[in-house]
């Protein structure tokens, strides 16, 4: 690659914006998608999902119904459901963790599944003309490392010109 191609490539990769605040109150104009990681067991009740449920009941209800009917749908690692909660806000329920506890097979986060979720999120965000808002997904109860999650976000979202804001809760 010649130097001008390298410069062009660097300019195309957008940075992730980091702010202090609550990802359920996205700071942007236009259409927004609040993204978070779910487990593959149908459990909803700890971590960031509690904040989502306090603000909007629809994502939890949709996730539970999606899991309950999993024999007839795409529920599983790497799947995403988009739930409209306000005229300009969607929530992306991304199944990116196996189980809920650390054990002999390590932490619950599955980076390959998260990567597939983020690719689908990028497709939907581009179609909606939306920005994406999230906490440091996969790094709380799921046990992931931001040093592994951040490059997935850069490749599948910000590198595709999807504006991304990551919220660190006060």
| Centroid of chain to Cα 17 | 15
Who contacts 102 (Cβ-Cβ below 8 Å, separation ≥6)?
108, 143
**Tens digit of pLDDT for each residue in 66-116?**
999 999 999 999 999 999 999 999 999 999 998 776 766 778 899 999 999
Question: What is the third-level CATH fold of 16-168?
Answer: 3.40.220
Number of alpha carbons in the 13 Å side-chain half-sphere of residue 108: 22
Q: Is the pLDDT of residue 58 over 80?
A: yes
The predicted pLDDT at position 9 comes to 43
The predicted pLDDT at position 5 comes to 52
- Give 123-128's long-range contacts (Cβ < 8 A, gap of 24+): 124/33, 124/80, 124/82, 124/90, 124/92, 125/33, 125/157, 125/162, 126/160, 126/161, 126/162, 128/31, 128/33, 128/90
Please give the backbone phi and psi of residue 73, each rounded to the nearest 5 degrees, phi first. -145, -165
Give the DSSP H or E segment for 89. strand 89-97
Are the C-beta atoms of 47 and 141 separated by less than 8 Å?
yes
Break the chain into its structural domains and give their ranges: 16-168
Residue 45's pLDDT band, with cuts at 50, 70 and 90, is confident
| Centroid of chain to Cα 106 | 21
Q: Is the pLDDT of residue 6 over 60?
A: no
Q: Give the residue, 150 or 105, on which the prediction is more confident.
A: 150
Q: In what order do the strands lie in the sheet with 131-134?
A: 17-20, 164-168, 131-134, 32-39, 89-97, 80-86
């Amino acid at each position: 690659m010649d130097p001008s191609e390298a410069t062009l490539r660097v300019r195309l990769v957008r940075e992730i914006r980091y702010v202090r605040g609550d990802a359920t109150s996205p700071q942007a104009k236009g259409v927004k998608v609040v993204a978070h990681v779910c487990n593959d067991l149908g459990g909803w009740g700890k971590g960031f999902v509690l904040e989502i449920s306090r603000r909007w009941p629809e994502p939890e209800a949709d996730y539970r119904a999606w899991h309950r009917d999993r024999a007839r749908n795409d529920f599983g690692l790497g799947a995403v459901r988009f739930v409209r909660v306000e005229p300009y806000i969607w929530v992306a329920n991304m199944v990116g963790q196996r189980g809920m506890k650390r054990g002999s097979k390590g932490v619950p986060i599955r980076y390959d599944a998260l990567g597939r979720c983020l690719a689908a999120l990028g497709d939907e965000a581009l179609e909606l003309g939306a920005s994406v808002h999230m906490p440091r997904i996969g790094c709380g109860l799921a046990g992931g490392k931001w040093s592994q999650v951040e490059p997935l976000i850069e490749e599948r979202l910000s590198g595709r010109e999807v504006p991304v804001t990551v919220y660190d809760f006060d």
